[in-house]
Amino acid sequence: MNFILLVVVILIAVIMVAAAVGIARLIAPRSYNPQKSEPYECGIPTRGKSWMQFKVGYYLYAILFLMFDVETVFLFAWAVVVQDLGIYGLASVLFFLLILVLGLAYAWKKGALEWK
């Protein structure tokens, strides 16, 4: 019974998304302007090459931010049910936070948080 309900919910979701996309295509304005397909550069002409390399430090900084941001979401879910989990839940989240702190210490030691 639960499997049938899951299939029905997924089918309804797919139908609703398809209907929304179809309605949007039907009522969307259809005007073509060649300027619309050009990249938007804030009106300032570029100097030199548009393609340039970025330092890998920017990517590492962004990945670390996303990693700790996602971990915060997991902590929120834990906080919602903390009373039901008891001491085992507390020990689990402390272990989780220990792993996070060790990861942060490793990134700090490797210099991934230095903005050069």
CB 78 within 8 A of CB 93: yes
- Residue with the bigger pLDDT between 101 and 23: it is 23
Residue 42 has pLDDT above 70, yes or no: no
Which of 11-15, 95-99, 109-113 reaches the highest mean pLDDT? 11-15
Interval 98-111: pLDDT, tens: 998 898 898 888 87
Up-side HSE of residue 61: CA atoms within 13 Å toward CB? 10
